[in-house]
Amino acid sequence: MSLVELAALAAQACDETRADAPSAPDDDLIASQRQLAAIARLIELAASTVAAEISHRSRRELGYDGLAARLGARSPEVLVQTITGASAPTARRLISVGGLVATPAHPWLQPVVEAVSSGRLSSEALMAIEAGLGSPSDSVPASALREAAVTLATLPLSVELLGARARELRADLDAAGVALREEQLRERRFLRLMPQPDGMTRLAGLLDPESAAIVGAAIDAATSPRRGGPRFVDPDEVAAAAALVDDSRSTEQIALDALVQLVDTAVRTTVLPGRRPDVRVLVTQADLDRRAGVGFIEGQSAVVSIETVERHACDGGLVPILFTDDAEALNLGRSQRLHSAKQRVAIAARDGGCLAPDCDRPPSWCEVHHIHEFGRGGATDLADGVLLCRHHHMLVHNNHWRVTRRGGRYWFVPPPEIDAQQQPIELPSKSAAVRRMLRAG
């Protein structure tokens, strides 16, 4: 049967299943789910085989003659992702599973591979077991790992539990290697904040087991009454649990708010490396005086209400920055050779990041540049300092660019070898609060 014929049969089966599922008896519904899962596992295995072959034909030594390169993809994973419409992790898994099944590079995993080939186990289960068991070592022969694989291939467990059981079996075989594997997991930890187009920020990361235990315990304590946690006897605890159950927020929202509160408490009471990570709320003096308009949180693209600004203005953990009518941040300190911490805060609020055109470096990545060098009589005040990232700061000093000021606005002046006319290039503020004030003016 060709893949075209198989696709036609799959489409027909899909239509029939969708039509029959609403009226199917419970037993038939469960049986259908099991059958479809087995079919899906077999189809994914076939897709893995093809993905592995695509990867083989795109191997690095082929250079630009490789399949992925010839089709304009930077890697076989990207090519598979483009063809399948799957996520990057899924594309990588397809290639990895296809490689494990196609070549017996890991003979101790053969019992699991056979279970995958028959549709009894998923490719995700294979990857979880492989990661949990690891490779043979001086203290753990391949025969011992194969025996463990035989056991794991017969267990009716979820992918997560199969991975946990595989790690347990490896620990039983190699207790001395637990510390090394623990460190390997710890090396994979990360946290990434990804601003989204709608003004929200997505959190992505991995926690090593110890970190997960600490964070998880805190989140569990905050949300357990909502998730059927332990019953309370103390009247105060009973009342608090009842209030949490009746809270209008979702359990996930409560978890996030608890995490933010923990971080906020920590930065208020703990000395972190470098400076204290103050959060800055930016607002024009006019908007604050009339208690209308909007404010901005430095480093975030979304606006906040004046009510939020007023709430944060009296909060010791946040720093309110006010702007006068000429777009200048209110003076927080002058007349020192180096810009003070308070002056840097005001300059950062006014400039919103590196002033160079098309540069997206935030204030935390920038240095304060003196428009008029201090050694040549320049003053260290707010108007005389502008934010530039290290690259553009070095460009100004090393390539003889200049920054000039006209009122409350700043301009780049290129050197003659770049522009014989030395036409000034305006450096608009990256601060949303300043842009709002200028629009209102």
Q: Give the closest residue to 59 by CA, choosing from 47, 76, 83.
A: 76
Long-range contacts: 78-82, Cβ < 8 Å, 24+? 79/54, 80/51, 80/54, 80/55
pTM (global) more than 0.95 = no
- Encode the chain (441 residues) as per-residue pLDDT tens digits: 788 888 888 888 888 888 989 999 999 999 999 888 888 888 888 899 899 999 999 998 988 888 988 888 888 999 999 999 988 888 998 998 888 887 666 788 889 988 888 888 888 898 889 888 888 888 889 999 999 999 999 988 888 889 888 988 888 888 778 777 778 888 989 999 888 888 888 998 998 877 887 788 788 777 766 555 555 545 666 665 566 566 777 888 888 888 887 877 676 655 555 444 556 677 776 777 777 777 777 666 667 777 777 666 544 444 555 565 555 554 333 334 445 666 777 888 888 888 888 787 888 778 888 776 543 445 556 777 888 887 788 778 777 788 888 877 889 898 888 888 989 988 888 887 777 776 665
Rounded Cα distance between 206 and 203, Å, is 10
Give domain limits for the chain.
Answer: 3-187, 191-269, 341-429
The pLDDT tens digits for 101-140 are 876 667 888 899 888 888 888 888 988 898 888 888 888 8
Average predicted confidence (pLDDT) for the chain = 78
